[in-house]
Amino acid sequence: MDSRLVNRLLAKLTIAFSSVLLVPLIAALFADREHIWIFIFTLITTSTIASLFNLFGSRRPRQRLRVREAIAVVGCGWLLVCLMGALPYLFLNPADPIAAVFESVSGFSTTGVTTALSFNDFPPSIRVWRCLTHWTGGIGVIMLFIIIMPQMNSGTSYLFNAELPGGTAERTLPKIKESAMMILLIYVILTAVEVALLLLAGLPIFQALNLALATMATGGFSYYHDSLISFRSVYVEIIAIVFMLIASMNFSLYYKIWRGDWASVRQDSEHRYYLLILTTAAALICGNLYFSGYMDFNGALRHSIFQAVSIGSTTGYASDDYNNWPSFSRSVLLMLMFIG
């Protein structure tokens, strides 16, 4: 294996990661200046790491990226990003390094679990960083890296296929970098649209930004500990339903729609069966909640659709405490977890 090539690529990945840190840095500048030093120190640390990788990296401008190097970049890259992502939490609370790494891994893997007892302990800039790790993990750190890396023959496809989930990674365009750019552009536009709609629904900017970042990643980090229950807003729930659904479907479909290729969209069986499963699950839960007398019909319809989409898309938001729901409804949600 060419370790010098791997080092050079990890240096570029670290630079791509450092660019993401500018978002919480700007957030701290406007709303949380007393903690701006956290992201300045993190940027200094990541820049130093990038310099070290670059020092021991290859100087040749064009090299062939083989399977071994691609696997090493993906594996080491994810580990590196998760450790660097823990730095803001660690600088905030040096006494608990395990919790810092846990929160970072949960964010970048879009798992959505947390060790925090109260999110009020996090300053606004850390909350932005927390959901930004979700957002970055949702599009894929390696995808962002592919965009900035030079073309390296056909080897780039190994990274592309290793990063995207599922049996096969469908390219929206002939070249890998163009495909990655198009997917990122769609991801950014959808996130911006959701932020705008949440602002129109009455949410403050930081809450809207946090919710949109986590929703598009289908990860579930929320501004409050009880998820979306604290918002007590049907409009927020409807927006979340729409974007959880959009974010959990194949992004190549959106490029085809933009291109006007509706025939390919109609012929795609994946999204049809996905919507059928979610509709069936929501109908079963709605019927169970209503006929068991647990909720009136409007409440049963609202919460059944929300929870079916939330669990089926693996987002994990909650609009109601479904632990208290009838056992049949909870069983349907459990099956959706496995399907999702």
Integer Cα distance of 13 and 149 in angstroms: 8
Residue 281 pLDDT > 90, yes or no? yes
Q: How far is CA 41 from CA 47, 101, 104, in A?
A: 10, 17, 17
Q: Please tell me what DSSP assigns to residue 225.
A: T
Q: Which residue has the higher pLDDT, 67 or 20?
A: 20
Q: What is the pLDDT of residue 61?
A: 59
Q: How far is CA 131 from CA 67, 141, 215, 259, 260, in A?
A: 32, 14, 9, 31, 33
- Of 215, 225, 27, which Cα lies nearest the Cα of 126? 27
Strand, coil or helix: 154: strand
Q: How far is CA 129 from the centre of its chain?
A: 12
Which segment of 121-125, 213-217, 239-243, 329-333 scores lowest on mean pLDDT?
121-125
Answer positive or negative: Cα dihedral of 272, 277, 283, 289.
negative
Strand, coil or helix: 135: helix
The single residue listed with the structure tokens 């709605």 is 286
Residue 111's CB is within 10 A of a number of other CB atoms, namely 17
In the chain, the amino acid numbered 223 is Y
Q: Which residue has the higher pLDDT, 117 or 209?
A: 209
Residue 332 pLDDT > 90, yes or no? yes
Domain ranges of the chain: 3-169
Integer Cα distance of 25 and 37 in angstroms: 9
Residue 18's CB is within 10 A of a number of other CB atoms, namely 18
Q: Which residue has the higher pLDDT, 120 or 3?
A: 3
Q: Which residues contact 170 (CB under 8 A, 6 or more apart)?
A: 250, 252
In the chain, the amino acid numbered 54 is N
Q: Are 290 and 304 in contact (CB under 8 A)?
A: no
pLDDT digits 0-9 by tens, 195-242? 999 999 999 988 898 899 989 988 888 877 788 888 888 999 999 999
pTM, to two decimals: 0.82
Q: Please tell me what DSSP assigns to residue 325.
A: S
Exposed, middle or buried by CB within 10 Å (0-12, 13-18, 19+), for 55?
Answer: exposed
Integer Cα distance of 86 and 80 in angstroms: 10
Q: How far is CA 192 from CA 183, 198, 199, 212, in A?
A: 14, 10, 11, 8
Q: How far is CA 191 from the centre of its chain?
A: 11
pLDDT digits 0-9 by tens, 57-110? 776 656 666 777 777 887 888 899 999 999 999 999 898 899 999 999 999 988
Integer Cα distance of 154 and 157 in angstroms: 6
Integer Cα distance of 114 and 324 in angstroms: 22
Q: What is the pLDDT of residue 231?
A: 87
Q: What is the pLDDT of residue 122?
A: 82
Integer Cα distance of 4 and 142 in angstroms: 19
Strand, coil or helix: 243: helix
Residue 272's CB is within 10 A of a number of other CB atoms, namely 12
- State the angle between helix axes of 176-200 and 234-247 in degrees (0 to 180), rounded to the nearest 10: 170
Strand, coil or helix: 152: strand
